Structure 1
Amino acid sequence: MDRLPDQLQPGLHLVFVGTAASERSAATGHYYAHPGNRFWRTLHEVGLTPRLYLPAEFPALLSLGIGFTDLCKLGAGMDHVALKAGVDVASFVKKIRQHRPATVAFTSKKAASLFYGRPTSTIALGRQPEQNDFPITFVLASPSGAASGAWTLQPWRELAEHVGRKA
């Protein structure tokens, strides 16, 4: 059973893609639920949402054209634990091609590295080179409190500017 339900529908402006649910997110059923996670504050700060949303309100973001999914749907916790449950990149790609969002944003270099099949050290933050038959893609600094040392708001701002032009 999936730890977090996909929040996808056709015509979305933006889909956030995580690696896997945190233990808190899996327990509550809400994306980015840990109080130390910057995700919800950042969405509002960069202008992707008109107000600060709470994790439990994630379904409401569909009305803003924003969806959610993860690469590892069965695991939960820190990546080194959660990813033992397996990553299904092919299933992720199929979902994205089916729903055709305008933009995909990986919420960490780790998630992007799993998708691209490359080490995290080779993944740059920000907009990625375009790929055939796949939406415009961004890689964001992880909002997780566990990744505080690598935090930067810049790729989030770049994403917000891009989505703002597309909306």
Structure 2
Amino acid sequence: MPLRLIIGGNNPSDHAWSTGHYYSHPANWMWRILKKTGIAPSWVKGAEDDERMVSEAGVGFLDVGCGHPGTLLSEFTSETFQSWAPAFYARLKAHMERACSNTGCVCSECGAPAVVGFAGKRQWMELLNVGRKGRGKYTKLDHGVQQMRPQGWPFPPSTEVWVLPSTSGAAPMSTAHRVGPWQELADRIKLIEWPRKPQCLPKD
């Protein structure tokens, strides 16, 4: 089923890797934010419900560095992040293709998620900087909807990209600054139908 939202992280933390659930570390704000803003339905308890979120709320999770656990982001260089890009895009494209196939989409694009939201600025900036050098590199991003797309981005223009504050407990910021952009995203997600239907098929 085409998702309403895919939340993209940097890479799984050691805690998430060991539990098998996204953002499972008790100090991470992700599940508190998802419940507070309404992105997560009222029945969600926490990270153990990450798979149910996919089928019942249309919200999925994926890390740029899937299969590369580590707690300290500083351990991963820009070159490492950029080396992850092709495999990350391949996973996104495969998801879109499966969703198209499962819904009978004939345009090859309806399986794309409505929104991709990155939990933190760095991963999106690193993707944007693939192939860029010197002064051509991006060094600053604002939270919210993004207009630029990196080389190789697999989704059609209809898929919105948002950059949100990091939910890591190690990221110093006030609760208002951390939650505010996520609430804006939540308000956007509430406007997207679920389950989503292919737009290329004849209307009933």
- TM-score range relative to shorter protein: 0.7 to 0.9
Structure-to-structure mapping, 1:97-108, within 5 angstroms: 97-98=93-94, 99=96, 100-108=112-120
SS class of match (1:72):
coil
- 1:142 aligns with 166
Q: What secondary structure, in the 3-state scheme, does the structure 1 residue paired with 2:188 have?
A: helix
Q: Is residue 143 of structure 2 the alignment partner of residue 125 of structure 1?
A: yes
- Taking the aligned partners of 1:130 and 1:46, their CA distance within structure 2 comes to 26
- Show the counterpart of 2:80: 86
Q: Which runs of 5+ in 2 are unaligned?
A: 97-111, 130-136, 150-154, 194-204
- Pairing 1:2-17 to 2, within 5 Å after superposition: 10-17=1-8
Deviations along 1:97-144, one digit per CA (max 9) or x if unpaired, are: 44211100000011221222255x411111111657252010010011
Give the whole-Å Cα distance in 2 for the aligned partners of 1:86 and 1:29.
23
2:53 is the counterpart of 1:61: yes
% identity of equivalent residues = 27
Is it true that 1:44 corresponds to 2:26 in the alignment? no
What runs of 5+ residues in structure 1 fail to find an aligned partner?
A: 1-9
Partner of 1:4: none
State how far apart, in whole Å, the 2-side matches of 1:84 and 1:29 are: 26
The structure number with the bigger radius of gyration is 2
Aligned to 1:96: 92
What RMSD, in angstroms, separates the aligned Cα atoms of the two structures? 2.2
Q: Matched residues in 2 for 1:152 and 1:60: separation?
A: 25
Q: Runs of 4 or more off by more than 4 Å in structure 1? A: 82-85
C-alpha distance in structure 2 between counterparts of 1:101 and 1:166, whole Å: 11
SS of 2:2's equivalent in the other structure is coil
Q: Which amino acid aligns with 2:181?
A: P
Distance 1:74 1:85, change over 3 A: farther
TM-score (norm 2): 0.69
Q: CA offsets per residue over residues 49-92 of structure 1, 9 Å max, x none?
A: 12243212211101210111111113222212256993321222
TM-score calculated relative to the size of structure 1: 0.83
Q: Which has the higher strand share?
A: 1
Size of the alignment, in residue pairs? 157
